[in-house]
């Protein structure tokens, strides 16, 4: 027990230290788990042989991942994406697999080994790519959307790959094996499993079936999984929820995944295939979100443990035997995949910088490659040394992914600078109100002003937004309002009010500072992202500073009060008082704000915030007492003063 607790503490401690660090550095959680395994294994030697048995348990996290992928893919969504999935994604997987297979066959490798390596290297890192695209706000770009379609197809392609690998098993791999570069290594260790006695009769029964009976049994189990998922999931979950025991929901969710995995293993199919099918079947269930919430923590824990064990198992002696060849194979993989993706971007008309985003973002190996290497080794398709080399190539290519995105950033900047820029429109109107930025925020301001009879001039750098406004009969002018000469040309010298509603917070500051310097008398209304942005704009000279979500949040708070026992009048008075005092507090705190110092490290600022919070609570209590009518005094009946009263 003590040894187990010690090892568990090492695994958890390494993950807690290194995974958040890797995420903050932009490397992704997968590389953090790999780094934790490398530190525990090859670097420090604190973990080793016990990770092989642990890895078999951790591999079930991948089964859960595929179940969750299926759970998020409704059949309708898959059908709507069929052209990108089967076209762009399918061609990428097939073309990369075929090219790598051909290269390895020409190098003298067996075609079955070459095909296996080609399939697992055709996949990219879903975790790293999606996280990086999200962090860089590139998911909605054409290149980001195309990359997501390919990644989705790759995740789906794992299913047939897992089913195909056992068919490529080679009995001769039990003897001496050659690595990727033709070096002969000792025989690989044979991993044997010992099923539970209770499972042996079932395993023996299915193994003794004739081929035709085995096929019928396989089809029957797949049909049973789909039928049960469609018709039995609702009654089962309703029955479980009626017990009012939250842990029972987790029990039944785990039972679904584990039970289906066992049934698929009985007939010799990949457990991941069955759980993926079950996930797609349950995608339209009203219990989908509950199942996802129950399974996701186990999936994350087991997947993290799996990647840690992969890191522990990486043999850097293999790297040092031929470092040049390993690095060359890694760079060759990246170059090959980038070239194939670039050709696909031309075929599917991805243009400009999005073409390079699509090509470079998906040029690495993927985390599913770790699973497939382990699976192929256990099935006897890949030898130990060859598997280690492939793991090193995948790991190094993933480590280089941040560099690929840096290369894309450089290329994108060059394309933007080289592209002919559209000339700004000549502003032929003047208005009392000058609006810089016509997004969601500026549109509302413009509508209110124009509907009230005020003349406005709208300036925005987004030609699409300007053209959309023109279709609705609202005139706007194309130009970057952060450029002083364009702002001056738009009528800054004669406008009464300047509304700064652009998205970029740095541009908001730039516009406010220029306007205040040129026109000390103009009234400036500025849009702010947060409190710190408010302080910056206050010092820059803005008159009215509007936080994007403040007014809507106060309104939502008023609704909360109205539905928790307060009258509409009381809720209105309390929200108005809060709004007034918070705005006054912002001016007070702006004087204490120190540029460049985080507010939580500013002692004077923190002390004043605590004091203002106390004053706010007292003011709201006083306001509530004034808003509520005083209780009526009890009626006092005096003795009748009439002399004839009895």
pLDDT at 218: 75
pLDDT at 333: 94
Q: Is the pLDDT of residue 173 over 50?
A: no
Residue 172 and residue 101 in contact, taking contact as beta carbons nearer than 8 Å: no
The CATH number, out of the four listed (1.20.1530.20, 3.40.1190.20, 3.10.105.10, 1.20.950.20), of the domain defined by the range 57-174+293-412: 1.20.1530.20
Confidence of residue 643 (pLDDT cuts 50, 70, 90): very low
CATH of domain 427-547: 3.40.50.720
pLDDT at 190: 42
Confidence of residue 176 (pLDDT cuts 50, 70, 90): very low
pLDDT at 269: 66
Nearest to 412 by CA among 466, 456, 359, 486: 359
Q: Which of 91-100, 295-304, 342-351, 414-423 has the lowest mean pLDDT?
A: 414-423
Residue 92 and residue 150 in contact, taking contact as beta carbons nearer than 8 Å: yes
Distances (CA, A) of 10 to 21, 30, 43, 106: 17, 18, 14, 44
Structural tokens at position 450: 């124009």
Q: What DSSP string describes 540-570?
A: HT-SEEEETTHHHHHHHHHHHHHTTT--HHH
- Residue-wise pLDDT tens digits, 194-211: 455 566 676 677 667 776
Structural tokens at position 68: 């969750």
Average pLDDT value for the chain: 80
pLDDT at 642: 47
Residue 459 and residue 477 in contact, taking contact as beta carbons nearer than 8 Å: yes
Only one residue has tokens 């009769």, namely: 201
* % of the chain residues with pLDDT over 90: 14
The better pLDDT of the pair 335, 24 is held by 335
| Domain ranges, ordered by start, for the chain | 57-174+293-412, 427-547, 549-628
The better pLDDT of the pair 401, 511 is held by 511
pLDDT at 80: 67
Nearest to 507 by CA among 478, 537, 485: 537
- Residue-wise pLDDT tens digits, 427-475: 777 889 999 988 888 888 988 988 898 888 888 888 878 888 787 777 7
Phi and psi, residue 599, nearest 5°? -60, -30
Q: Is the pLDDT of residue 191 over 60?
A: no
For residue 181, how many C-alpha atoms fall within 13 Å in the half-sphere facing its CB? 14
Q: Stretch 486-491: mean pLDDT, rounded?
A: 86
Q: What radius of gyration, in Å, describes the C-alpha atoms of the chain?
A: 33
Q: Is the pLDDT of residue 322 over 50?
A: yes
Q: What DSSP string describes 309-372?
A: HHHHH--HHHHHHSHHHHHHHHHHHHHHHHHHHHHHHHHTT--THHHHHHHHHT-S--HHHHHH
Rounded Cα gap, residues 570 and 628, in angstroms: 7
Q: Is the pLDDT of residue 215 over 50?
A: yes
Residue 486 and residue 458 in contact, taking contact as beta carbons nearer than 8 Å: no
- Residue-wise pLDDT tens digits, 40-97: 888 887 876 666 667 667 767 767 777 777 777 666 666 666 777 778 888 999 999 9
pLDDT at 193: 46
């Amino acid at each position: 027990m003590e040894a187990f607790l010690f090892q568990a503490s090492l695994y958890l401690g390494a993950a807690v230290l290194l995974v958040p660090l890797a995420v903050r550095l932009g490397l992704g959680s997968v590389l953090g788990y790999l780094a934790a395994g490398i530190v525990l294994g090859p670097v420090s030697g604190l973990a080793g042989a016990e990770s092989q048995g642990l890895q078999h348990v951790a591999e079930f996290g991948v089964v859960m991942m595929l179940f969750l992928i299926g759970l998020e893919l409704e059949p309708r969504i898959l059908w709507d994406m069929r052209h990108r999935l089967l076209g762009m994604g399918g061609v990428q997987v097939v073309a990369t697999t075929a090219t790598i297979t051909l290269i390895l066959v020409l190098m003298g490798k067996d075609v079955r080994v070459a095909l296996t390596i080609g399939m697992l290297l055709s996949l990219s890192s879903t975790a790293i790519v999606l996280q990086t695209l999200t962090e860089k706000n590139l998911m909605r770009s054409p290149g980001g959307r195309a990359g997501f379609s390919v990644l989705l197809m790759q995740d789906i392609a794992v299913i047939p790959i897992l089913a195909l690998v056992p068919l490529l098993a080679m009995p001769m791999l039990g003897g001496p094996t050659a690595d990727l570069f033709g070096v002969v290594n000792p025989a690989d260790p044979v991993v044997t499993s010992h099923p539970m006695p209770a499972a042996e009769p079932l395993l023996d029964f299915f193994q003794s079936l004739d081929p035709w009976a085995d096929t019928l049994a396989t089809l029957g189990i797949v049909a049973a999984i789909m039928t049960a998922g469609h018709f039995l999931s609702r009654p089962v979950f309703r029955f479980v929820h009626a017990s009012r025991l939250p842990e029972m929901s987790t029990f039944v969710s785990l039972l679904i995944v584990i039970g289906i995995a066992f049934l698929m293993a009985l007939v010799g199919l990949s457990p991941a295939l069955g759980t993926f099918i079950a996930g797609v079947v349950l995608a339209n269930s009203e219990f989908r979100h509950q199942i996802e919430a129950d399974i996701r923590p186990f999936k994350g824990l087991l997947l993290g443990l799996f990647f840690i064990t992969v890191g522990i198992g990486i043999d850097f002696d293999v790297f040092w035997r031929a470092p040049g060849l390993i690095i060359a194979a890694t760079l060759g993989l990246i170059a090959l995949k980038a070239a194939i993706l670039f050709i696909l971007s031309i075929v599917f008309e991805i243009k400009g910088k999005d073409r390079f985003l699509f090509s470079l973002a998906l040029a690495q190996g993927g985390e599913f490659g770790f699973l497939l290497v382990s699976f192929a080794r256990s099935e006897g398709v890949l030898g130990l040394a060859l598997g280690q080399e492939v793991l090193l190539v995948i790991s190094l290519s993933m480590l280089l992914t941040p560099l690929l995105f840096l290369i894309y950033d450089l290329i994108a900047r060059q394309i933007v600078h080289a592209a002919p820029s559209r000339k700004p429109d000549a502003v032929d109107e003047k208005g009392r109100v000058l609006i810089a930025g016509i997004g969601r925020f500026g549109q509302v301001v413009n509508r209110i002003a124009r509907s009230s009879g005020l003349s406005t001039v709208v300036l925005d750098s987004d030609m699409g937004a300007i053209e959309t406004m023109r279709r609705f009969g609202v005139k706007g002018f194309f130009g970057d309002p952060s450029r002083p000469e364009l702002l001056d040309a738009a009528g800054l010298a004669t406008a009464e009010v300047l509304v700064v509603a652009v998205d970029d917070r740095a541009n908001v500051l730039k516009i406010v500072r220029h306007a205040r310097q040129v026109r000390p008398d103009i009234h400036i209304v500025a849009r702010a992202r947060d409190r710190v942005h408010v302080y910056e704009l206050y010092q820059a000279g803005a008159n009215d500073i509007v936080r994007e979500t403040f007014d809507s949040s106060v309104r939502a708070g008023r609704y909360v009060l109205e539905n928790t026992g307060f009258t509409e009048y009381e809720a209105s008075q309390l929200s108005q008082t809060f709004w007034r005092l918070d705005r006054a507090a912002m001016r007070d705190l702006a004087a204490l704000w120190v540029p460049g110092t985080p507010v939580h490290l500013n002692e004077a600022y923190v002390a004043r915030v605590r004091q203002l919070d106390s004053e706010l609570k007292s003011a709201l209590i006083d306001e509530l007492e004034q808003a509520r009518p005083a209780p009526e005094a009890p009626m006092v009946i005096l003795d009748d003063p009439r002399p004839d009263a009895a």
